[in-house]
Amino acid sequence: MIFDSCYFRAKIGIDSGQLLARTRLEGKDQMKAGKLFLIMLLSCGLLVECAILYYFLVFVPTKLPFKPPERYLLEVAKEEIPRFTYWEDDYQELKEAFQGEEGFLLQKIANGEKLSFGETKLAASLVKESAELLLQTLQEVKSEEELNRLIRKRFTIYQAAGEEGEGKVLFTGYYSPICEGSLEKQGPFKYPLYLIPKDLKVANLGEFDSTLEGERIVYRIDPTREEVVPYWSREDIVKDKVLKGQNLEFVYLKDRLDRFYLMIEGSGKITLANGKSFWLRYSATNGRPYTSLGTSLAKAGKLPEDMLSLQSIRQYFQRHPQEMDHYLNQNERFVFFVEDEQNQGAIGAAGVVLTPERSIAIDRRIFPLGTLAYIEYPEPEINGQGKVVRYAEKGRFVFCQDTGGIIKGPGRADIYFGEGERAFAKAGNIKGKGRLYFLLKKSG
């Protein structure tokens, strides 16, 4: 009887799916219809793999949540190669950043893996050799002139095409918050962070179709209806307290906005009243869509778009605390954490400790983690009061060591600025167009 019911529901779903597919739904409408159809198929329980695969064969127009340019990468002509800025701390800081990721690349090499690089693939060994050659070059040179001469001789330069294919990349910043916390709910410490719930399920779609590598859906099984449903939203968790009683709360903060920012950044440091501290790292999300808090405030006319920053948002809610929950809950995404047992700092997607202003987040589906890069971007200069004095164009060598939920496509990159208030001030005020270059060792 269960099988007959399952078959009947699936048969209706497949017939409906074929009909919907013929209506030529596009973009978000197609995805929305497809996801509803997927949930209907998954609800039978016995057809999970077939349902997920069929959904993506029929409904998904593209795996990329951005409009792809004709090319992701541009090879830079000799006469257009930028002038690379030489900083005295280049060698030491890059050496430290590379030491962390060397093990990551060695594992890729041992596995014989090829890494996505725009429209092509790179041997992991070339990524490693390129980084080692730059470090060697930085040791040899004594001036910026000599650095640029050797780079032109030893490296082929590529440029991220940007969202419009013109080479312009939007740079933003992120940091590691330092938050006061308590291991018990007491006094002002009443806003919990949660471990990953046992009922949170993830389907990795790359296992069904290699072109969907890196894509996934997050869901739970509704025990009453015995159906697959989206995982709980932020409002469900925060307001309705649907996770209460599962012993998932492991640390409490005293500021709702600190908790929100911690979830955006993905890692942070918790300081306790006894003077001890420990690091948290990202564990999972509820799979719900991300909505920018700043965008929500700007659309509502609460803050002008050209004045949005982490600082201006905090100041707004200090003046209007009664509005905070409403706007926080517009972002349905919720992040679950775990204590970093090694307690070594912010960890990127490459599994290495991030280096301030030397680690960036990129879209790993088109640019490889571990790759050496050079960025040109408008950096805010911060005074002693944490205010922006001015913006100055800056260029520096970095490594691609992290990813981000909203860092999608060849036109986005996120710079890691470290921990604490100064990092907060920099990360919260950087948002401007620049350029992203990649350096690969020439053959021969």
pLDDT at 25 over 80: no
What pLDDT band is residue 309 in, cutting at 50, 70 and 90?
Answer: confident
Question: Looking at residue 311, what is its pLDDT?
Answer: 86
| Confidence band for 218, pLDDT divided at 50, 70 and 90 | very high
Whether 66 shows a pLDDT value over 60: the answer reads no
Q: Which of 28-42, 56-70, 213-227, 258-272 has the highest mean pLDDT?
A: 258-272
pLDDT tier for residue 65 given thresholds of 50, 70 and 90: low
The CATH code of the domain at 73-175+348-441 is: 2.40.40.10
Report helix, strand or coil for 195: coil
Per-residue pLDDT band for 71 (boundaries 50, 70, 90) equals confident
- Nearest 5°: phi and psi at 87? -115, 145
Q: What is the pLDDT of residue 38?
A: 53
Percent of the chain whose pLDDT exceeds 90: 63
Segment 26-46, tens digit of pLDDT:
444 445 445 445 555 554 444
Q: With 80 as the cut, is the pLDDT of residue 5 above it?
A: no
Contacts of 171 (CB under 8 A, 6+ apart): 375, 377, 378, 413, 414, 415, 430, 431, 432, 433, 434
Identify the residue whose tokens are 């710079």. 415
pLDDT tens-digit map of 244-269: 999 999 999 999 999 999 999 889 99
2: pLDDT confidence band, cut at 50, 70 and 90? very low
Whether the predicted pLDDT of 276 surpasses 70:
yes
Q: What mean pLDDT do residues 427-441 have?
A: 93
Residue 375's pLDDT band, with cuts at 50, 70 and 90, is: very high
The string of pLDDT tens digits covering residues 148-183 is 999 999 999 999 999 888 899 999 999 999 999 999
Q: What is the percent of the chain where pLDDT is above 70?
A: 84
Tokens 């329980």 sit on residue: 45
| pLDDT at residue number 344 | 81
What's phi and psi for 76, nearest 5 deg?
A: -85, 125
Residue 89: pLDDT above 80? yes
Annotated domain spans of the chain:
2-58, 73-175+348-441
Mean pLDDT across the stretch 343-352?
A: 87
Q: DSSP labels for 341-410?
A: TT--S-B-TTSSB--TTTEEE--TTTS-TT-EEEEEEEEEEE-TTS-EEEEEEEEEEEEEEE--TT--ST
Q: What is the pLDDT of residue 406?
A: 82
Statement: residue 23 has pLDDT above 50: no
Q: Are strands 431-441 and 388-402 parallel, antiparallel or unpaired?
A: unpaired
